[in-house]
Amino acid sequence: MPLTCGLIGLPNAGKSTLFRAVTAAHADIASYAFTTIAPNIGVVRIPDPRLEVLAAIFRPERVVQETLEVVDIAGLVRGAHEGEGLGNQFLGHIREVDALLHVVRCFGGPIDHAEGSVDAVRDAEIVDAELLLADLDTVARARAQVIPKARTGDRAARERDAVLAALEAHLGAALPARTFVPAGNASDAAQIVALLHLLTAHPVLYVANLDDAGPESAACLAAVERYAARSGAAALSVFGKLELELSELSDEEAVQFLASLGLRERSLPRLVRACNALLGLRSFFTVGSDEVRAWNITAGTRAPRAAGKVHTDMERGFIRAEVIAYEDLIACGSLAAARERGLLRLEGRDYEVQDGDVISFRFAV
């Protein structure tokens, strides 16, 4: 299953515009609340300049970037945790993604706003409050099931209820589940929390959607950054409408358009890289004359599981992985030179693949 980032926020925060820009999906989407009902899913290529360097060495027939799924989830409103605005359905979509891109509106204009005015921090608080309230309801229902057993003296039930009670107090203090640090047996408690599939357990990045680079936009971004920092999250800015316009131009035209606006780079590559980091992903590479390719894995992935990304037979029949760090390969200029210098090494089943590893898998089936 591919890892996914879900775009969330109030209606008309610019999620669908940003989604179309990221995925270059140019379907006409009207600007009014609940335009998006069923979630739209798009595939995004993850830029990695290391691929171009590797391609210059191996001159392959094709270069393949790794991809990420982005899900455009309908806007939430006040009362979503109680079903307002199809809230239960939309919250269910949020539960299914791996990380959240919380889009916050920092632009004006004639488009309707659910609250009647633009206030980035208030808007972020509304959405976060709905996620917290939904999680509180989930935890309360879980406790209602376990408390009767705990009262009979069931030790496991008492321990589970203790974790749930602490988690309930944490959420009640307006703190997201991702910042919950349980006491006692942390691994058991983490498993209890994980089984609840809480909305605020997802890692989150706040995305300030701007319409220009003026002082008002800068002030809005700064406010969003301060708000995000309260819960240990990060924030970045995008120009959603501009990015949609740029996605319809050639690369050369896009560069010229950006220069005319006094901008040096697009915001979308930063957003995609930030989403990649939010999911804790690493990239390893396979190289050859036919193909140079990036593969995404999560931190801590061992060599056989990484081999399975390339082909299931490689994981099933894994023998060894021949590994060299990207920097070492580039310094040598070729695999042959790296082998002469003794920089290619064989790793076994317990090896944790590192970001930038260039790997050839040995297997037999």
Please give the Cα distance from 188 to 174 (Å, whole number): 24
Q: Token match 């593969």: residue?
A: 295
Task: Per residue of the chain (365 residues), give pLDDT as tens.
Answer: 567 889 999 888 888 888 888 876 433 333 333 344 456 888 888 888 999 999 999 999 999 998 888 888 876 666 655 655 444 566 778 888 999 999 999 987 766 666 677 899 999 999 999 999 999 999 999 999 999 988 888 888 898 999 999 999 999 999 999 999 887 767 788 889 999 999 999 999 999 999 877 788 889 999 999 999 998 899 999 888 888 888 888 888 888 888 887 777 777 778 888 888 888 889 999 999 999 999 999 989 999 999 999 999 999 999 999 999 999 999 999 999 999 999 999 999 999 999 999 999 999 98
Using CA atoms of 193, 194, 198, 200 in order, give the dihedral in degrees to the nearest 10: 90
| Helices 15-23 and 268-278, packing angle to 10 deg | 100
| Helices 186-194 and 155-172, packing angle to 10 deg | 70
Residue 86: the pLDDT is 44
319-357 burial, b for 16+ CB within 10 Å, e for fewer? Answer: ebbebbbbebbbebeebeebeeeebbeebeeebebeebb
- Decide the pairing of beta strands 291-298 and 281-286: antiparallel
> How many other CB atoms are there within 10 angstroms of residue 42's CB atom?
17
Residue 28: the pLDDT is 38
Please give the Cα distance from 47 to 294 (Å, whole number): 10
For the chain, which domains are there?
Answer: 1-47+67-280 (3.40.50.300), 300-363 (3.10.20.30)
Strand pairing partners for 105?
A: 209
